[in-house]
């Protein structure tokens, strides 16, 4: 069976679900950030696949992938800066011990 659009979409859904599980179930804030990166990569795969199979001449999907890549890089920088700041003050990166914003 030749590889088509659905194969890429289902692969992206598998990667997204793995990342979602990790982001929900992990304690370490850095691991949660890594799982969010996996989810963003899954979305990028769908955008690139749509770009090839549905709109191969204008490449709008690939333009979107460039923007999401920039936003993901910015998100990692700010997220890690916040995590390092919390670690500097509280000596931990475990999310269930960082409850200072819990009403």
Within positions 42 to 81, which residues make up the interface with other proteins, using CB under 8 A? 44-45, 48-49, 51-60, 62-63, 65-67, 69-74, 76-78, 80-81
Q: Please answer whether residues 43 and 8 qualify as being in contact, where contact means their C-beta atoms are separated by less than 8 angstroms.
A: no
Taking residues 78 to 97 in sequence order and writing x for each that binds other proteins by CB under 8 A, - otherwise, the string is: x-xxxxxx-x----xxxxx-
Taking residues 8 to 27 in sequence order and writing x for each that binds other proteins by CB under 8 A, - otherwise, the string is: xxxx-xxxxxxxxxx-xxxx
State which residue, 91 or 103, has the beta carbon closest to other proteins. 91
**What length does the chain have?**
103
Q: How far is the CB of 29 from other proteins (least distance, A)?
A: 9
Kindly give the interhelix angle for 29-53 and 5-25, rounded to the nearest 10 degrees: 170
Q: What is the spatial distance between Cα 51 and Cα 56, in angstroms, rounded to a whole number?
A: 6
Q: How far is the CB of 97 from other proteins (least distance, A)?
A: 11
User: Among residues 82, 102, 103, which one has the least CA distance to residue 93?
Assistant: 82
């Amino acid at each position: 069976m030749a590889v088509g659009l659905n194969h890429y979409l289902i692969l992206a859904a598998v990667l997204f679900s793995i990342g979602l599980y990790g982001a929900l179930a992990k304690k370490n804030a850095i691991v949660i950030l890594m799982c969010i990166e996996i989810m963003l990569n899954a979305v990028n795969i769908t955008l690139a696949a749509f770009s090839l199979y549905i709109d191969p001449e204008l490449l709008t999907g690939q333009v979107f992938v460039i923007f999401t890549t920039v936003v993901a890089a910015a998100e990692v920088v700010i997220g890690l800066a916040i995590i390092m700041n919390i670690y500097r003050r509280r000596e931990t990166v475990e999310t269930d011990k960082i409850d200072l914003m819990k009403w």
